[in-house]
Amino acid sequence: MRRIYLDNAATTPLDECVLDAMMPYLTSQFGNPSSIYSYGRESRLAIENARKSVAKILNAHPAEIFFTSGGTESSNTAINASVRDLGCKHIISSPVEHHATLHTVEHLHKTGEAALSYVKLLPDGHVDLADLEKLLSESTDKCLVTLMHANNEIGNMLNIHAVGELCKKYDAIFHSDTVQTVGHFPFDLRNTYVHFITGAGHKFHGPKGVGILYVNENIKITPFVHGGSQERNMRAGTENLYGIVGFAKALEQATANYEKDSAYIKSLKLYMMEQLQQHLGDVSFNGDVLGCSLYTVLNASFPKTDKSEMLLFSLDINNICASGGSACTSGADAGSHVIRSIANDPDRVAVRFSFSKYNTKEEIDEVVEKLKTLI
């Protein structure tokens, strides 16, 4: 039985052209980028060319792009640097952030390094910008605002420019977890008031284990990882050469095909919504699903029954990959903190379906048919 993969918000398959770009650096061009002989210089050139490519696509300066191991390291670096280097003593976040952010801000609060406030959410799961301004205006300490650009579980998108303007007004540092949007939406960082954004290659058909941290040129931070002079003394450790090359190639591909791919993927999301409503009756959707939302994510809610409580397990047995929320917490029994924050109904079961350019309507038809027997 073939596998139907509808969990692309967790990770995506590697694009063949990305693998082709990486292969020379996995085989013959393996030199350490810090070595001074030709093998090393060739590797260094590949990294710097990748940096220039990423910076151009994001409309940033190459000196503002740092390669990391992924979104978690990038967010940890940004949040810790904001508190320890930039004087932020009050962190404002939301209860629906990725745990890479939530656990980091909770740790800094627990150790007494920063006060912590959570902005209110509107009924549809969006951040309440009026409450954000209230928190900023009332704070007597310098603030770090850390809010994700798009929620990885329900797909809601933040108005990053509106939040940036509020941060500018109150002289706050702004970090946005953009892991779900880098590679899926165009960015213009030159004209966006934001100090840090993050990216992870595996979210847009690149390799795992490589990400970026954008650090605005107007701020100066110290390294989060110590031990070497790599990444212009900002991130110690031998660079993930083939990962970095793959990240840049995947971002180039995603950008070149954005219009076509995003329209196609959005059509799959809307088609699945229609089919679920038509064939399953008592189905609802979490988040602002038809409003300001990721075109890749659909979070559906079904009535809780003896059968539906085992829904993800039953889908897996039938070779269908979907999730109850973030892949990072899928092994826990606690369930989704995002769903608890916006729609805490114990009589419903939430399932996240997320799509890529490789999915088809025929696959969705198969999944809906199977869901009819499972719910």
**Domain extents in the chain:** 4-12+258-374, 16-256
Q: How far apart are CA 329 and CA 98, in angstroms?
A: 10
Structure tokens at 242: 């083939």
State pLDDT tens for residues 335-358: 789 988 887 788 889 999 999 999
Residues 6+ apart with CB under 8 A from 288: 124, 125, 126, 155, 156
Q: How far apart are CA 99 and CA 291, in angstroms?
A: 25
Q: What are phi and psi of 10, to 5 degrees?
A: -80, -50
Computed from CA positions of residues 41, 42, 43, 45, in that sequence, does the dihedral angle turn out positive or negative?
positive
Catalytic annotation, pick one of 143, 167, 321, 328: 328
Q: How far apart are CA 215 and CA 234, in angstroms?
A: 11
Q: Where does residue 79 rank: exposed (0-12), middle (13-18), buried (19+ CB within 10 A)? A: buried
Domain 4-12+258-374 sits in which CATH superfamily? Aspartate Aminotransferase, domain 1 (3.90.1150.10)
Q: What is the pTM of this model?
A: 0.95
∠ CA 156-160-163 to the nearest 5 degrees? 110
CATH fold group of domain 16-256: Aspartate Aminotransferase; domain 2 (3.40.640)
Q: How far apart are CA 49 and CA 43, in angstroms?
A: 10
E-strand ranges in 201-296 read 211-215, 284-285
- Contact between 158 and 137 (Cβ < 8 Å): no
- Beta strand pairing call for 320-321 and 297-303: unpaired
Percentage of the chain lying above the pLDDT 70 cut: 97
pLDDT at 328: 52
Computed from CA positions of residues 53, 55, 69, 237, in that sequence, does the dihedral angle turn out positive or negative?
positive
Structure tokens at 51: 């940096």
- Give residue 109's identity as a one-letter amino acid code: H
Residue 45 β-bridge partners: none
Calculated CA dihedral for residues 351, 272, 322, 371, nearest 10 degrees: 80
Q: Is 167 a catalytic residue?
A: no
Structure tokens at 259: 């219009």
Q: How far apart are CA 109 and CA 89, in angstroms?
A: 9
Computed from CA positions of residues 132, 200, 291, 347, in that sequence, does the dihedral angle turn out positive or negative?
negative
Q: How far apart are CA 55 and CA 206, in angstroms?
A: 17
State pLDDT tens for residues 113-165: 999 999 999 999 999 999 999 999 999 999 999 999 999 999 999 999 999 99
pLDDT at 334: 54
Q: What are phi and psi of 11, to 5 degrees?
A: -165, 165
pLDDT at 329: 45
Which among 104, 98, 136, 130 is positioned nearest to 117, based on CA atoms? 136
The per-residue pLDDT string of the chain (375 residues; one tens digit each, 9 = 90 and over) reads 789 999 999 999 999 999 999 999 999 999 999 999 999 999 999 999 999 999 999 999 999 999 999 999 999 999 999 999 999 999 999 999 999 999 999 999 999 999 999 999 999 999 999 999 999 999 999 999 999 999 999 999 999 999 999 999 999 999 999 999 999 999 999 999 999 999 999 999 999 999 999 999 999 999 999 999 999 999 999 999 999 999 999 999 999 999 999 999 999 999 999 999 999 989 999 999 999 999 999 999 999 888 778 999 999 999 999 998 654 544 444 578 998 888 778 888 999 999 999 999 999 999 999 999 988
